[in-house]
Amino acid sequence: MNISVNLLVGFAMGLNLIALGSNRLPSLIRAMSVQGVLLGIIPLLMEKELDWRVALVALATAIGKGVVIPGLLRRAMRAASIEREVDPFIGFVPSLLLGAAGTVAAVALAQGLPLLPEHAGSLLVPGALASVLTGFILLVGRSKAISQVCGYLILENGIYLFGLLLIKTTPLLVEAGVLLDVTVGVFVIGIIVDHIQRAFDSLDTRKLTALRE
């Protein structure tokens, strides 16, 4: 496996830990956006001969996950006038420890999987598992809707890394479809965030427990 690919995946795994340990929403969004750009670059490094279709999907991934979606989240953050996750369901230190332990477990688990020879020594599987776990922790452990959206996106980044294992056999249309699903999902979540903000003048999802029939 290309050393540069492993290096980028390693950076992406480090960004997972930054996302888990940060209480500032701008830092969380920045970590998620940089991770999206790195994931967009990886397919280009995996192919010996550059295919224009691979380049197109890589560019769409980098722009969508690294620029467009983070821009929408920053706009929502400014509109809601919030910059910090003050009282999460799971504290930042426990989240960081869970993420670190999950990353170590992912590396250990990947070594025992029956991977193809070209994927031996690759960090794609550990990176995918670690990103899925990170996204799950952010989804269930944060109280701000924007943080949960970032968790959803990081979780999807893990699924995207799994898909890169089959880049030679999986039609690129599938990868493009995943990116489209993410974009649609973020827009839907954006609508929900807007309704939460309008109804409660806050993006704290715990206020949804005040709803009654």
Q: What are the residues whose beta carbons fall under 8 Å from the beta carbon of 3, sequence distance 6 or more?
A: none
Tokens 């956006």 belong to which residue?
Answer: 33
Return the C-alpha torsion angle 166, 168, 174, 180, nearest 10: 90
Q: Sign of the C-alpha dihedral, residues 12, 14, 16, 19?
A: negative
Distance between CA atoms of 203 and 143, rounded to whole angstroms?
A: 8
Question: Do 95 and 88 contact (CB within 8 A), yes or no?
Answer: yes
pLDDT tens, per residue, the chain with 213 residues: 577 889 999 999 999 999 999 889 899 999 999 998 998 888 888 777 777 777 877 888 888 888 888 888 888 788 777 788 878 888 899 999 999 999 999 999 988 887 777 777 788 899 999 999 999 999 899 888 788 888 888 988 888 888 787 766 664 555 565 666 566 666 656 666 665 566 555 555 555 555 454
Q: What are the residues whose beta carbons fall under 8 Å from the beta carbon of 6, sequence distance 6 or more?
A: 121, 122, 123
DSSP H/E element including 81: none
Global pTM value: 0.82
Helices 25-46 & 3-21 angle (0-180, nearest 10):
170
* Spatial CA neighbour of 20 closest among 165, 159, 151: 151
